[in-house]
A and B are shown apart, each in its own frame.
Chain A
Amino acid sequence: DTGVSQDPRHKITKRGQNVTFRCDPISEHNRLYWYRQTLGQGPEFLTYFQNEAQLEKSRLLSDRFSAERPKGSFSTLEIQRTEQGDSAMYLCASSFSGRDEQFFGPGTRLTVL
């Protein structure tokens, strides 16, 4: 499968726990994006990497959120001390440098109880 993949697809956790999600972009895509989508809304930008460098962070990304892309390939998004308001679909997308088109993964649906 040459598309963007995300793992896990679903995560249920209790409030206060830490969670980590993984995204594997399309190979050769050097840009990687994280978005959050709540029910009935459009995705909201969280952060963006070019290779291993994190170039943009949204104000939505509180101190409890951290994202990494250590080798410029896959990326992880960690949420510490989860809150019920963190419940959402977390989408990852990738694009090729010099091209605008972003291709999305299937998302990780997080439910915080």
Chain B
Amino acid sequence: DTAVSQTPKYLVTQMGNDKSIKCEQNLGHDTMYWYKQDSKKFLKIMFSYNNKELIINETVPNRFSPKSPDKAHLNLHINSLELGDSAVYFCASSQDYGLQNTEAFFGQGTRLTVV
């Protein structure tokens, strides 16, 4: 059983398109996250959701919008895709908000390529 699953694994699309990446966790966790990993392998948080409430939005362009239909899902919708959006996007979840001493479980990543 995959704890945190993302779809699709690969996504190639043209500039200006709108796309969504889906994420589901079956761990019963309260908080979910989206991270972006750039070409230099640097992971940076984009959003975190706790009980359907957006907690952090780290200066991400408003073209990116997280959508959480329920506690187990946090989808990432991107409007008007740009070349610079090309990266690997990781979904993650944790038991509680704050990650003080709790594990964060990551999905396998979605490699987005904008052409």
Partners in one complex: no
User: Measuring CB to CB, which residues of chain A are less than 8 angstroms from any residue of chain B?
Assistant: none
